[in-house]
Structure 1
Amino acid sequence: MAWSYALVIDPAAADDARTDFAGSFTPIDPTAPALSVGELSTQRGDGIFESIGVVDGHAQETQAHLERLAHSARLCDLPAPHLEQWRQAVAAVARTAEPGESVLKLILSRGVEHGPSPTAWVTLAPAPDNTRARVDGIRVVTLDRGFDSEAPARAPWLLLGAKTLSYAVNMAAIREARRREADDALFVSSDGFVLEGPTSSVILRFGDRFVTPEPGAGILHGTTQVSLFEHLAERGFETTYERVAASALSNADAAWLVSSVRLAAPVRAIDARPLAVDADFTASLNRYLLSPRT
């Protein structure tokens, strides 16, 4: 991904009373070295991030992403981000975007080892072309996540509900899916419940009822999934959060993996079992997701 813009944030305390944070942002050359060799984001993956879709210069679902950044910070014992400072940083970076789709990333790390403060920065890049996934659909395989559905409550130090920089397992799962001639993966717990994709949430359709796994089982609560549920409810559909047994996947009438940048990708096969793709309905979901949303 070729970064087109980046800025570093001098993190403000959560109780900072300023209303204008422009002086705390430093634009940097996105192609030049910027981090210390002691930076813990690169040394240990010790930090958190958010990816925000940008459409024609408008950052989508900014508030939801900022709230999730704060949630991840709490889980990781990081200083609370000043949300107004980050909101202004998002707006400043989004204004530099070219027409079309881009991806904006917020990154907050613990900083330099033994250093006095965290490190924070925001980047922007053109989004990849996701037309094929949105229109033709994707093939998915189920992969064991390696823990049971009670693990998050039993072992909160695993940070299963935080969006951390430690994405080695997620990327390994996608590589494994491709080795199995699929496009993406869907994690299931070791006791047989559906979780999420490595970089996405899953929505299942049973008739006119739309279901996603409840977020309490170590699932990252997806901003795109939440927004789509609001949209579907407005259209008169039933939406619900449930524990979904992996065995129920074979009963689904349709499925989507949804995320902030790829948006709604219809699933056309799960573990090589074909699944119907409703092209017109999916197109309507993606038209909504591409419309300006705050």
Structure 2
Amino acid sequence: MTVLVFIDPSAPAGRVADASAPQLSVLDQGVTRGDGVFESALYKGGAVRKLDMHLARLQSSAQLSDLEVPAEDAWRAAVATAVAQYDDEARRSASAADAPGGEAEAVVKLIATRGSEGSGHGTSWVTVSPAPALGRKQRESGVRVLFLDRGYDSTVAERAPWLLMGAKTLSYAVNMAALRYARSNGADDVIFTSSDGRVLEGPTSTVLLATRDGDEKRLITPTLRTGILPGTTQGALFDQAEEAGWKLGYGPVVPQDLLEADAVWLVSSVRLLTPVTSIDGEAISTDGELTAELSGLIEAIE
């Protein structure tokens, strides 16, 4: 079940369309060139989590890409229409697991492209669909990851802004290829490293690690100066963790730091907090107590 709502000037609340029918021009540059930006948010318990942060990052990605996207109020209206439609369809499905306000989770995607070449305007839409079951499973079981070289050094974002490092664009072919490589080599996911040996991010996630020193707990993530995508869940979690007494750190992080940490996680808006259980086939430390505490903090994020 997928709900589709286009942002359309003629429909202030958004235009509901049939997601199973052709809707997008084959000339749209989002299709032909991956020229566009997007966000993925979690819908659970009747609320779209961190919508303000996702809208802010969408605007940031659009600015980095020199792409004009609809105003925030248009996105909010389309999201409201989409989740209301999704809830209506879930009720009609008569499935308790999909009942609105329950434990079922859905993914809300906001997508904006440059549109067809020469059209002078872009294409923007919102979809809502059930969250993949694999994500919830991996939160519980953890993931095995591989270090993969991204092929850039950690200063490339400063030297080459046209690479759009730090923008969440539709050009995800490399990220998907990395995940396929991992799965074909006995792993579940990937942590990218730079060519000069810095830890960067996952194809669809932010890297976190924790260390304990007596009663002090420290939560660390790679620095944004390496050109990684600013993680909305990581940012919100850091705010919660700081209030709970954690110390915070922002890289630089090297692979050995992950191997020696008390726990490592991949964190994202849909999969939330996912423990890393091994790296390059080597088992690493996990900490159920820390995972439970941070998972509780993430659940409290609105």
Q: Tell me whether 1:166 sits opposite 2:166 in the alignment.
A: no
Residue 57 of structure 1 deviates from its aligned partner by 2.5
Letter in 2 for 1:9: I
- The correspondence for 1:78, drawn from 55, 61, 67, is 67
CA separation in 2, counterparts of 1:188 and 1:103? Answer: 28
Paired position in structure 2 for 1:133: 138
CA separation in 2, counterparts of 1:66 and 1:284? Answer: 28
Q: Is the 8 A contact 2:145 2:190 kept in 1?
A: yes
Q: Is the 8 A contact 1:192 1:245 kept in 2?
A: yes
Name the SS for the 1:191 alignment partner. coil
The 5 A counterparts of 1:41-52 are 41-52=30-41
Query: Number of residue pairs matched?
Result: 282
Paired position in structure 2 for 1:236: 245
Any gaps of 5 or more consecutive residues in structure 2?
Answer: 91-99
CA separation in 1, counterparts of 2:69 and 2:4? Answer: 22
Letter in 2 for 1:72: S
Residue 282 of structure 1 deviates from its aligned partner by 1.9
Paired position in structure 1 for 2:281: 272
CA separation in 2, counterparts of 1:6 and 1:41? Answer: 17
Instruction: Give the alignment's TM-score, normalised by structure 1.
Output: 0.91
Paired position in structure 1 for 2:187: 182
Paired position in structure 2 for 1:114: 118
Letter in 1 for 2:235: V
User: Relative to structure 2, which stretch is displaced further, 234-243 or 45-54?
Assistant: 234-243
Name the SS for the 1:23 alignment partner. strand
Name the SS for the 2:12 alignment partner. helix
CA separation in 2, counterparts of 1:288 and 1:243? Answer: 24
User: Relative to structure 2, which stretch is displaced further, 38-47 or 22-31?
Assistant: 22-31
Letter in 2 for 1:113: E
CA deviation map 1:26-76 (0-9, x unaligned): 100011110011111111100000001110221000000000000000010
Letter in 2 for 1:54: Y
Letter in 2 for 1:7: V
Percent identity between the two aligned chains: 48
Q: Is the 8 A contact 1:206 1:252 kept in 2?
A: yes
- The correspondence for 2:265, drawn from 256, 266, 278, is 256
- Relative to structure 1, is the Cα distance of residues 90 and 24 closer, same or farther in structure 2, using a 3 angstrom cutoff? closer
CA deviation map 1:136-162 (0-9, x unaligned): 211111000010001111011001110
CA separation in 2, counterparts of 1:212 and 1:268? Answer: 17
User: Relative to structure 2, which stretch is displaced further, 237-246 or 281-290?
Assistant: 281-290
Q: Is the 8 A contact 2:65 2:164 kept in 1?
A: yes
Q: Is the 8 A contact 1:70 1:81 kept in 2?
A: no
- The correspondence for 2:298, drawn from 274, 289, 292, is 289
CA separation in 2, counterparts of 1:230 and 1:292? Answer: 10
Q: Tell me whether 1:143 sits opposite 2:148 in the alignment.
A: yes
RMSD over aligned CA atoms reads 1.6
CA separation in 1, counterparts of 2:137 and 2:25? Answer: 39
Paired position in structure 2 for 1:102: 106
- The correspondence for 1:199, drawn from 198, 204, 207, is 204
CA separation in 1, counterparts of 2:28 and 2:72? Answer: 23
CA separation in 1, counterparts of 2:74 and 2:68? Answer: 14
CA separation in 1, counterparts of 2:244 and 2:75? Answer: 33
Any gaps of 5 or more consecutive residues in structure 1?
Answer: 12-20
CA separation in 1, counterparts of 2:27 and 2:160? Answer: 29
Instruction: Give the alignment's TM-score, normalised by structure 2.
Output: 0.89
Residue 281 of structure 1 deviates from its aligned partner by 3.2
The 5 A counterparts of 1:211-226 are 211-226=220-235
- Relative to structure 1, is the Cα distance of residues 284 and 91 closer, same or farther in structure 2, using a 3 angstrom cutoff? farther
- Relative to structure 1, is the Cα distance of residues 211 and 292 closer, same or farther in structure 2, using a 3 angstrom cutoff? closer
CA separation in 1, counterparts of 2:66 and 2:13? Answer: 23
Paired position in structure 2 for 1:17: none
Q: Is the 8 A contact 1:139 1:182 kept in 2?
A: yes
Paired position in structure 1 for 2:96: none
Letter in 2 for 1:219: I
CA separation in 1, counterparts of 2:202 and 2:11? Answer: 36
Residue 165 of structure 1 deviates from its aligned partner by 0.3
Paired position in structure 1 for 2:6: 8
